[in-house]
């Protein structure tokens, strides 16, 4: 089975432009997590979906960020307009949450390195 797939792997854009990051879940997984990693703040959870429904978006920085799951196996994270402080590595992870009140193992993608000039 292929792991979590993210695209693009690298993105360089200019301030004010729209950026869309993409993530394909592992087949059979039903939970999706978007993280952001910077040197200053480490690995931060942005949003968590379960069965295509956003469950916790408290980590989304502001209205410029939005995430969707148009179907059970795919997600997008959009930043509009982008700013230099959004420069970071963005990871998505998926898991199969069916064991009750406990997290299931999250498997991470390779990440998208975003640079906003």
Q: Residue 49 interacts with other proteins (CB under 8 A)?
A: no
Q: Residue 34 interacts with other proteins (CB under 8 A)?
A: no
Pairwise CA distance, residues 58 & 102, whole Å: 19
DSSP per position, 5-56: EEE-SEEEE-TT--EEEEEEPPTT--EEEEEEEETTTEEEEEEEEETTEEEE
Pairwise CA distance, residues 23 & 17, whole Å: 20
| Position among 48, 79, 94, 116 found at the interface with other proteins (CB under 8 A) | 48
C-alpha torsion sign, points 7, 44, 73, 66: negative
Closer residue to other proteins, CB minimum distance, 19 or 93: 93
For the segment 57-116, give every residue that binds other proteins (CB under 8 A): 91, 93, 97, 101-103, 105-111
| Position among 14, 20, 51, 56 found at the interface with other proteins (CB under 8 A) | 56
Report in angstroms how near the CB of residue 66 gets to other proteins at its nearest.
Answer: 19
Binding segment toward other proteins, per CB under 8 A, in 20-28, 41-49, 65-73, 74-82: 41-49
């Amino acid at each position: 089975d292929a792991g979590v797939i993210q695209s693009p792997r690298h993105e360089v854009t200019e301030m004010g432009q729209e950026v869309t990051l993409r993530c394909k879940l592992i087949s059979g997984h039903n939970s999706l997590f978007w993280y952001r990693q910077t040197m200053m703040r480490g690995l931060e959870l942005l949003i968590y979906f379960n069965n295509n429904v956003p469950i916790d978006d408290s980590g989304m920085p502001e209205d410029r960020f939005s995430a969707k799951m148009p179907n059970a196996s795919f997600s997008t994270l959009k930043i509009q307009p982008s700013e230099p402080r959004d420069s970071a590595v963005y990871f998505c992870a998926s898991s199969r949450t069916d064991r009750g009140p406990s997290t299931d193992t999250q498997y991470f993608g390779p990440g998208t390195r975003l640079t906003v000039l």
